[in-house]
Amino acid sequence: MQALRMLGVAALLGTLSSPLVAQGWIDPVRPIPQSNPRVERLRSAVQVSISGRVARVTVEEWFRNNGPALDEGMYHFPLPGEAVFSSYSLWQGDQELRGEAMDAAQARAIYEAIVRQKRDPALIELAGQGLIRARVFPIAPGETRKITLKYTQLLDRAGDAWRFRYLGDRNRQTAPRSFRLEVDSAARFGDPYSPTHQVQVTRRDNRLEVTLSEGSAAAGDFELLLPLARGLIGLSLIPHHPVGEDGYFMLLLAPGAAADAATLRRDVVAVIDVSGSMSGEKIQQAKSALIQLLGTLREGDRFRLVAFSGGVRRYAQGWTEVAADTRRDAETWIRSLDAEGGTNIAGALTEAFAQAPAEQSLGVVVFLTDGQASTGETDPERIATSAERGRGKFRVFSFGVGDDVNTYLLDRLTERARGTTEYIRPGENIERAVGTLAAKVASPVLTDVTITAGSGIELYDVQPGSLPDLFAGDEMVVLGRYRGLGTGEWSITVHGSRSGRQEEFRTTVGDRTNDDARYIEQLWAARKAGTLSREIRLHGQTKELMDALKQLALRYGILTEYTSYLVQEPSVALRREAERQVMQAPTPAPVDQAGAASVGKAARDRSMSESAHLESVVVTVDGAMLDEMRRARSGINPTQRIGGRLFIMRDSTWTDLGHGDSLRVVSIAPYSDAYFALLKALPDLREAAALEPAVLVAGRRASIKIETGGKTRWNPGELERLVRDFRG
C-alpha cells in the first residue's frame, strides 16, 4: 500500500509541470470514470491581515461528496512565493481537529492505522514546489466538510508598492469566493489597486479594508498593489526574543533610488557557450541577449567578450571602453559567432577572470552555458576550486540553458560570488532572462553590503549568509538569530558602498518578547532549511547536515520530505512506537549533477535559501535505506507539541525528539524544591514540565527529565551548571 501511495505522489507531481491550478481542491484517492467531479468545492472564504510587510492568510473551504460511497479525498493547496505554512484544521461538525508537525514516517503510520479504523485524520505533506497535500478521510455520501488553512507570507516589493498575490483556481471546480483584506497602517499607503479584479476600498481609523466588488469575478489569481505613500528609504528591524532562548530578527533595507548609479563604473565580462549543442534557436537567443547586455552599458563602462566551445575566443586582448564605434564592432563580432565543437568551461572561466576589474568599479561576469565540460579540465570540483581562486572581486551570474547543465558546478561558481544561478528550462526565453539581469545591474545602488550589531549583541545564522548587492527597486530582507542582552535596547548597522562612497544605515530597537512577530521563527527556519538542502546538494550528505535538517523541520514545523502535519481525532488511542532512524551515512557530493531533476532541485534550493519560499526541501536518500527504515518501523505512539518542541511517548515518558543518547540526563522530582527552582531558572520549561507521568526535555549539552524519584534539592552551583549546559 505504501508503495502504491508513493507512486500516487509521483503521478501527482507529473501533473504539476504546467502552471499550478490554485486555490484548494480535493481529488478522490481512488477515482472512478465519471463526467462530473465526485468531490465538489462549494465555496471558499479568504481573509488577509497585513501588518508591516507581513500578510497572515486564512483560507476556509467547504467541500461536498457527491459520490455514492464513503471514500477518501486528497486536498491540494498551492502556496505562493515568500510563504510559510502555519496550520491546517479539518472540521467535523463544530469540532475543529488541528494539525501538528511530526516525523513524516510516523505521521504516515498513524494516518494509515486510523484509516483502517475509518477514523478522521488529515495528513499534510509537501507534494511539490510550494504545494500542500492533505489526505482527508472519510467524506460520506452527501456530506459537507470544512477545511481551514493558514499561512504567512512576505509581500513582494514592486517598484514603489508592495504586492500581495493569492493564487486562484484557473480551470477546475470554480466556486463562489469571498475575499477580505485588512491593513493596519493605512496612512503608509495610497489607494490600493488590483490589476486582476475590481475592488472596494474602505478607510477608517488608520485601517484600510479591501474587498471584491459586487459582480467582480472571484476566480483566477488575485493580485493587489499597495502603493507606498512615500519612498521607504532606510532600515526597519523587527526583533522577537522568546523567553529562555536566543532571539530572532527580521531586517528590511530599502536603499533608495539609483540617482547616483551612473557615476559607478561597471566592468562587465560576457561569456557565451558556442558549442555544437547551442545550435539553432538557443544560439540566436543567446547572441541577442549579449547584444542587449551591451546596450545597457554607458560611457565610462568597460566590457570583455568571451566565446567558448572546444577552445576559447575573445573579442579583444584587454578591456574595451564603451563608445558608439566599439559597441557596433562588438555587436558585429557577436553576430558572427557559430555553434560547433565541444565545451571547454575551465578555459572560458580562466579567460573571464584574466583581467581584474578596476578599483571603485562593479565587476560582473555573466556566464551562459547549456552543457557540461567535455574538453580541457572536466572535473567539476577542480573547475569550481580553480574558478574560486581566480575570481577576485568579480560578481558571477550564471545562466544554465536546458536540462543538460551541471548544476553543481554553476551553483558553486555563484555560491560566494554575490551572484545567482538562473536555470532556463527547455522552451523558455534566454534573451528575456539575461535582459532582466542586464536591467538590474544597470542601476547598482548599494554594493558590498555587511551587517553588524551593537555592543553586547552577537548575530548568527543570518539568512542569506552572503548578502546580495542592491539595485534600483530592491528591498533586502534578512532573517537571523541573535544572542546577548536579555533586556534593554540594541542596534543593527548596515554598511555598504554607494557610487564608491561608504554609507551606513542604523536602527535601534528594544530587546523583548514579541508574540506578534512569532512568524519570524518560521520564516527564518524556512530559509535555513533551504540553505541546509543546498549544502547537502553541493557538498554531499553527512549525518550532521541530515540531522540538522530534520531537527530544524521538527522544531519549527517546516514541511520537508522528513516531516508532515497530522490532524488526529482526540479520542484515538495509539500504542506502539515509531523507531527513529539515522537518515544516511556520509557520502560524497551528489553524482546526479545534471538532468531535469537536478535543475529543478537547484532552482528550488536557491529560491528557498535566498528568500522565504516554503518549497520542497529535496535531499537524495538511498532507496535501500528507505526500505530498511520502513521495515524497521514497528508501530506508533502518541505525540504532542509543547512550546515549539515535539514530544513522543516512549516507555511512559514524553520524550523530546531533540534528545540524543549522548546527552547527559539530570532527573528532577516533580513539585519538589528542585523542581520549582528549575522552573524559576528556566521559565520556558513550565508547559513541558506539566506533562505526566514523566517528561524528558532536550538541551544543547544536557537534557532534563522530570520524574518520580528524581532530585529534590540542588547542591551549591549545581543548578547554575545545569542551566549553562542546557542552554549551551
**Number of residues in the chain:** 728
Q: How far apart are CA 525 and CA 395, in angstroms?
A: 27
Average pLDDT over residues 225-234: 64
Contacts of residue 584, defined as CB under 8 A and 6 or more positions apart, other chains included, come to: 541, 543, 546, 621, 622, 625
- Sort strands 645-650 and 653-656 into parallel, antiparallel or unpaired: antiparallel
| 348 alpha carbon, distance to own chain's centre | 33
Average pLDDT over residues 503-524: 76
pLDDT band at 563 (very low <50, low <70, confident <90, very high): low
Is 671 within a domain? yes
What integer pLDDT is reported at residue 634 of this predicted model? 35
| C-alpha closest to that of 438 among 364, 523, 361, 346 | 364
| 356 alpha carbon, distance to own chain's centre | 34
What single string gives the DSSP state of each residue in 386-454? HHHHH-TT-EEEEEEESS-S-HHHHHHHHHTTT--EEEE-TTS-HHHHHHHHHHHHTSEEEEEEEEEE-
Same domain for 219 and 267, yes or no, is no
Is 282 within a domain? yes
DSSP letter, residue 195: S
Task: Check whether 71 has a pLDDT greater than 80.
Answer: no
What integer pLDDT is reported at residue 260 of this predicted model? 46
| C-alpha closest to that of 13 among 76, 100, 59, 68 | 76
Judge residue 491's burial from the number of C-beta atoms within 10 Å of its C-beta, 0-12 exposed, 13-18 middle, 19 or more buried: middle
Q: Write out pLDDT tens, residues 308-344.
A: 999 999 999 999 999 999 999 999 999 999 999 999 9
DSSP letter, residue 309: S
DSSP letter, residue 63: E
Backbone angles phi, psi at 374, to 5 degrees: -125, -15
Same domain for 424 and 462, yes or no, is no
Is 107 within a domain? yes
Q: What is the 3-state secondary structure (H, E, C) of 462-498?
A: EECCCCCCEECCCCEEEEEEEEECCCCEEEEEEEEEE
Please count the other Cβ atoms lying within 10 Å of the Cβ belonging to residue 219.
Answer: 16
| 13 alpha carbon, distance to own chain's centre | 19
Task: Check whether 584 has a pLDDT greater than 80.
Answer: no
Contacts of residue 254, defined as CB under 8 A and 6 or more positions apart, other chains included, come to: 157, 231, 232, 233, 234, 474, 475
- Backbone angle region of 317, left / alpha / beta, with phi > 0 → left and psi within -120 to 50 → alpha: alpha
Average pLDDT over residues 61-90: 77
Is 585 within a domain? no
pLDDT band at 21 (very low <50, low <70, confident <90, very high): very low
Contacts of residue 204, defined as CB under 8 A and 6 or more positions apart, other chains included, come to: none
Same domain for 209 and 267, yes or no, is no
Same domain for 280 and 366, yes or no, is yes
Same domain for 253 and 272, yes or no, is no
What does the mean pLDDT of the chain come to?
75
Is 623 within a domain? no
Q: How far apart are CA 463 and CA 610, in angstroms?
A: 7
Task: Check whether 8 has a pLDDT greater than 50.
Answer: no
Same domain for 321 and 332, yes or no, is yes
- Reading the block at residue 482, the C-alpha cell is 541573535
Q: How far apart are CA 663 and CA 166, in angstroms?
A: 45
Q: How many CA atoms lie within 13 A of 118 on its CB side?
A: 4
Task: Check whether 437 has a pLDDT greater than 90.
Answer: no
- Reading the block at residue 79, the C-alpha cell is 502556496
Q: Write out pLDDT tens, residues 173-189.
A: 456 678 899 998 888 88
**Taking the chain, what is the end-to-end CA distance rounded to the nearest angstrom?**
44
Lowest-confidence range among 384-398, 587-601, 631-645, 651-665?
Answer: 587-601
- Reading the block at residue 653, the C-alpha cell is 515518558
Q: How far apart are CA 644 and CA 441, in angstroms?
A: 42
Task: Convert 351-360 to b/e letters by CB count within 10 Å (16 or more is b).
Answer: bbbebebeee
> What CATH number does residue 350 fall under?
3.40.50.410
Query: Helix-strand-coil percent breakdown of the chain, rounded to 5?
Result: 25, 35, 40
Q: How far apart are CA 159 and CA 474, in angstroms?
A: 8
Contacts of residue 571, defined as CB under 8 A and 6 or more positions apart, other chains included, come to: none
Q: How far apart are CA 323 and CA 305, in angstroms?
A: 15
| 170 alpha carbon, distance to own chain's centre | 25
Task: Check whether 530 has a pLDDT greater than 90.
Answer: no
pLDDT band at 210 (very low <50, low <70, confident <90, very high): very high
pLDDT band at 47 (very low <50, low <70, confident <90, very high): very high
Strand partners, 212: 199
- Give me the residue label for grid cell 483560507: 59
Is 346 within a domain? yes
Same domain for 179 and 49, yes or no, is yes
Lowest-confidence range among 283-292, 369-378, 562-571?
Answer: 562-571
pLDDT band at 209 (very low <50, low <70, confident <90, very high): very high
What integer pLDDT is reported at residue 334 of this predicted model? 94
Contacts of residue 533, defined as CB under 8 A and 6 or more positions apart, other chains included, come to: 549, 605, 608, 609, 617, 618, 619
Which of residues 496, 513, 530 is at a domain's end?
513
**CB-CB contact of 376 with 346 (8 Å):** yes
Task: Check whether 655 has a pLDDT greater than 70.
Answer: yes
Is 203 within a domain? yes
Assessment of whether the complete model's pTM goes beyond 0.75:
no
> What CATH number does residue 195 fall under?
2.60.40.1730
Q: How far apart are CA 675 and CA 550, in angstroms?
A: 31
Higher-pLDDT residue of 409, 172: 409
Contacts of residue 316, defined as CB under 8 A and 6 or more positions apart, other chains included, come to: 304, 305
Same domain for 22 and 80, yes or no, is yes
Task: Check whether 26 has a pLDDT greater than 70.
Answer: yes
| C-alpha closest to that of 183 among 157, 168, 201 | 201
Amino acid at 679: L
What single string gives the DSSP state of each residue in 122-174? EEEEEEETTEEEEEEEEE-TT-EEEEEEEEEEEPEEETTEEEEEE---SSS--
Which of 207-216, 578-587, 632-641, 665-674 reaches the highest mean pLDDT? 665-674
Lowest-confidence range among 458-462, 558-562, 651-655?
Answer: 558-562
Same domain for 429 and 286, yes or no, is yes
Same domain for 93 and 51, yes or no, is yes
277 lies in which domain range?
A: 261-398+415-442
What integer pLDDT is reported at residue 358 of this predicted model? 92
DSSP letter, residue 193: B
Q: Write out pLDDT tens, residues 234-262.
A: 677 888 887 767 889 888 777 665 554 45
Contacts of residue 488, defined as CB under 8 A and 6 or more positions apart, other chains included, come to: 510, 511
What integer pLDDT is reported at residue 588 of this predicted model? 38
Same domain for 177 and 253, yes or no, is no
Higher-pLDDT residue of 117, 501: 501
What integer pLDDT is reported at residue 473 of this predicted model? 61
Q: Write out pLDDT tens, residues 148-177.
A: 888 888 887 766 678 888 876 544 445 667
How many separate domains does the chain show? 4
| 376 alpha carbon, distance to own chain's centre | 37
**CB-CB contact of 74 with 538 (8 Å):** no
Task: Check whether 360 has a pLDDT greater than 60.
Answer: yes
Higher-pLDDT residue of 572, 305: 305
Q: Write out pLDDT tens, residues 486-495.
A: 557 888 888 8
Q: Angle, nearest 10°, between helix axes 281-295 and 430-441?
A: 20
- Reading the block at residue 538, the C-alpha cell is 553541493
Is 317 within a domain? yes
Lowest-confidence range among 39-53, 109-123, 333-347, 473-487?
Answer: 109-123
Please count the other Cβ atoms lying within 10 Å of the Cβ belonging to residue 709.
Answer: 8
Q: Angle, nearest 10°, between helix axes 407-415 and 519-539?
A: 120
Task: Check whether 79 has a pLDDT greater than 50.
Answer: yes
Element (H or E) spanning 364, and its range?
A: strand 361-369
| C-alpha closest to that of 349 among 314, 301, 315 | 314
Same domain for 62 and 114, yes or no, is yes
Residue 332 vs residues 56, 287, 288, 310, 327: alpha-carbon distances, Å = 53, 10, 11, 22, 9
CA dihedral 654, 659, 660, 661 (to 10 degrees): -40
